[in-house]
Structure 1
Amino acid sequence: MERGKLVVERVEGRSTLTRCFSKYPFKFIVPNKAGSSKADAVWIYTITYGGGVVSGDSMACDVTVGDGATAVLTTQSSTKVYKSVGSKCSQQKMEASIGKGALLVVIPDPVTCFSTAKYSQIQNFKVVPESSLLLVDWITSGRHERGEKWAFSHYKSTNHILLQGNETLFLDTTSLEHGRHGGISERLQDYQVIAMIVLLGPKLKLIQSQIQEDVKKLMSQQLRLPSVSAGCSSESGSSYRLPKPSFLASCSTFGPKGAGVVIRVASMTTESVYNFLQDQLASLEALLGAAPYL
C-alpha cells in the first residue's frame, strides 16, 4: 500500500509545502490562502472520496514538519465511517515527525461512525524537546437524526508521542465496543461526544496555562452544591443529588516538568464541544492565520 506524503519546510524564511502525495481513498487539498498572509503556516485539508470512509478502506500517510516550520492538518467536515461489510475494519495510520522549533496542529472535525461500522486509527508523533504539537481527537455517537446512538461495532484510536530516541512521552488509547458489561450507549448514557486535546511544547505554553485555569473554573461551577442561602437547608443539602452535567472536562499534565497537557471532554452535544474548542484555541489565530474551528 502506497502511503500519503506531506513535507512542510522553511524555504526563504516561510513555511512551505515541499512535497505532497496522496492516493485513493483520500487526498490532500492545500488552499492558496487559508488565513492571514502575515501568519507563517501551511493549512492542509484531508478529504475522502465519496464523502466518507468505506468498509475495509486503509489509509496511511507520513507527515514531516521541518525545523521552524508550522503546519495545520484539518478536515472540511466530520469523518464519516460507513457501515462495515462482514468483518472488514477501516483503518487509518499516520506517522508524523516534528522538528526543532516546529509546530504541527492536527485539528480534524469529529469521527462519526455509522451503525455497525468498524474503525481503527493509530497516530504516532516523533518530537524533540523544542517541538510543539496540538492534537484534537474526538468522536460523536453517530447519526442522531436516524436514531443511531453509539450503534457502531468497534472504534479504537491510539495516539503515541515519542521523544527522540523513541522514549514514550505520551500514550493513549480509546477503545469502544460492545461487550459483556453492556453496550456502549449504556455505559456512556446521555453523553454524545468524547474528545481529547493534547498541547505540547514551547509555542503552546500560554494556552496550556489558560486552558487549565478555564477547565478548573468551568467544572467548579458545574459541580458546586447549592448553598444554604440559595434555599437549601443543611439537612436537605446533605441528600441533594447534583444534576448530571451536560459538559465534563478534566486536565492533567504529562512528560518531564509537565511539558504537555491533556484535556478530556465528554459532552451531551457536539455544538458545545465545538464552542469549547473555539474559545480555548482562539488565541492561535495570530500564529496560524485563522482561528481553529471557526
Structure 2
Amino acid sequence: MSALPVVSAPVPLVLASTASPPAAWSALEVAEVRGKSRLIACKNIQPLKLLQPASHGPAVHVVLSSYGGGMVAGDAIRLRAKVQAGARLILSTQASTKIFRSIDGAVAEQHTAGELGENALAVVFPDPVVLQAESRYRQAQEWHLQPSSLLLLVDWFHSGRMDQGERFAFHALHSELRVRVAGRLVALDRFAFNPAENIATSPANFAGYQTFFSVFLVGSPEDARFRLLGEILAQQKMPGSTGPHFSISSQPYAVSVARARENVWVLRAAAHSRMDLQPLCDALLAGLADEQLLGYNPLARKY
C-alpha cells in the first residue's frame, strides 16, 4: 500500500452549507390601550395573511387567511401571537383550511407559538382543517400562560371533502398541542393517523364519524371566567343511558367532557357532518359573548 501524501501546510476547506435558512414567522401582538385591546404589531409572511375585522367588544379579532383558501404541499405557516397583560384576543379563520394533495411526499405544516400575560385572554376558534385526498399535514401549537391567563382553544378537522363523498383519502395527519402555565406543562395532546396503515371506519378509530372537534380550556380555578366556561363545557355532556336500548348512534354527535386537571378542561366531539356540531358551537360562542370574556359573538354573522 502506498503512503499517503504529506501536506506541509493546512489548507482551508470550505463546504457549501446545505442547511435551510431559518423559516420566517408571522407575528401579532395585542395590548390593552385605554381600556380596550388593540393590535399593536402585525407581520404577515406568505402564505399567511392576517386580517383584522372591526370588533364590537373589548377584544381584538384577528382572522387567519391564506392565498387560495388553503395550503399546498410544502407550505409552512408559522405564527407567533403575544397577548399582553389584561388584553383579549380572538383568533379565527376566514373559512375552512383546505389541505391540498401532496406532491413527492411534501408536507403542509402549520406552527403556532402563543404567549399570554397576566389576566390575558386568548380564544382560538378556527374553522375545520379539511384533509383532501392524498394530502399530508402536520401542525404544532405551543402556548405559554401566566397563572392568571385564560386560554380556550378549538382544534377541528374533517376527514375530507364530505360533500363529495371523500372520506379518509389523505395520506397523513399529525397534530401536537402543548400548554404551559408558569413554565409547567399542564396539557400535552398528540395525535397522528395514517389511513393506509389503519382502518379509519373501525369502531376503535372513527367508526362512521367524519368531523372531529376538540376544545381545551386552561386557566385558574379561582378565575370567574374559567368557572363560567367550565360550566358551559360540562353542560355539553351526553345524556346518560336511561335503559338497555340507549344507542349512541342515535345522537347527532358523540361528545365527552372531562376536567383533566384542576386548571384544565377537555371536550371532544365527533359528528357525521359540520351542521351536527352547530349547537355545540352556538353554546360555546354564547358563553364567550359574556362581558367578562369577548363581550360579543364575533362569529355570529358567519354561522
TM-score bucket of the superposed structures, by smaller chain? 0.7 to 0.9
Alignment counterpart, residue 236 of structure 2, candidates 204, 211, 215:
215
Q: Which runs of 5+ in 2 are unaligned?
A: 1-22
Once residues 156 and 74 of structure 1 are traced to their aligned partners in structure 2, the CA distance between those partners, rounded to angstroms, is 21
Does 2:36 correspond to 1:14?
yes
Does 2:281 correspond to 1:277?
yes
Once residues 83 and 116 of structure 2 are traced to their aligned partners in structure 1, the CA distance between those partners, rounded to angstroms, is 5
Q: Percent identity at matched positions?
A: 29
Once residues 241 and 208 of structure 1 are traced to their aligned partners in structure 2, the CA distance between those partners, rounded to angstroms, is 27
Does 2:102 correspond to 1:84?
yes
Which residue number corresponds to residue 159 of structure 1? 177
Alignment counterpart, residue 247 of structure 2, candidates 242, 259, 262:
242
For residues 76-125 of structure 1, what are the alpha-carbon distances to aligned partners after superposition, in whole Å with 9 as ceiling and x for unaligned? 21111101112101000011000100000100001001001100100000
| TM-score normalised to structure 2 length | 0.84
Which residue number corresponds to residue 118 of structure 1? 136
Once residues 215 and 29 of structure 1 are traced to their aligned partners in structure 2, the CA distance between those partners, rounded to angstroms, is 32
For residues 21-62 of structure 1, what are the alpha-carbon distances to aligned partners after superposition, in whole Å with 9 as ceiling and x for unaligned? 01111110012x23x2xx210000000111111111001011
Which residue number corresponds to residue 184 of structure 1? 200
The one of the two structures with greater contact order (alpha-carbon pairs below 8 A, sep at least 6) is: 1
Query: What's the C-alpha RMSD, in Å, of the aligned pairs?
Result: 1.7
Q: Secondary structure at the match of 1:291?
A: coil
Q: Secondary structure at the match of 1:20?
A: strand
Once residues 5 and 20 of structure 1 are traced to their aligned partners in structure 2, the CA distance between those partners, rounded to angstroms, is 6
Once residues 263 and 243 of structure 1 are traced to their aligned partners in structure 2, the CA distance between those partners, rounded to angstroms, is 17
Q: Secondary structure at the match of 1:84?
A: coil
Once residues 263 and 142 of structure 1 are traced to their aligned partners in structure 2, the CA distance between those partners, rounded to angstroms, is 22
Which residue number corresponds to residue 231 of structure 1? none
Matches within 5 A, 1:1-294: 1-31=23-53, 33-34=54-55, 36=56, 39-164=57-182, 166-180=183-197, 182-186=198-202, 187-201=205-219, 202=223, 203-212=225-234, 214-216=235-237, 218-220=238-240, 223-225=241-243, 240=245, 242=247, 244=249, 245-255=251-261, 258-286=262-290, 287-291=293-297, 293-294=299-300
Which amino acid is the alignment partner of residue 248 of structure 1? A
Q: Secondary structure at the match of 1:122?
A: strand
* CA deviation after TM superposition for structure 1 residue 184, in Å: 2.2
Which amino acid is the alignment partner of residue 231 of structure 2? S
**For this pair of structures, how many residues does the alignment match?**
269
| TM-score normalised to structure 1 length | 0.86
Which amino acid is the alignment partner of residue 242 of structure 1? S
Residues 4 and 62 of structure 1 are in contact (CA less than 8 Å); yes or no, is this contact kept in structure 2? yes
Q: Which has the larger radius of gyration?
A: 2
Residues 241/133 of structure 1: CA separation in 2 closer, same or farther (3 Å cut): closer
The structure richer in helix per residue is: 1
Residues 102 and 131 of structure 1 are in contact (CA less than 8 Å); yes or no, is this contact kept in structure 2? yes
Once residues 88 and 224 of structure 1 are traced to their aligned partners in structure 2, the CA distance between those partners, rounded to angstroms, is 49
Which residue number corresponds to residue 232 of structure 1? none
Residues 241/43 of structure 1: CA separation in 2 closer, same or farther (3 Å cut): closer
Once residues 277 and 89 of structure 2 are traced to their aligned partners in structure 1, the CA distance between those partners, rounded to angstroms, is 23
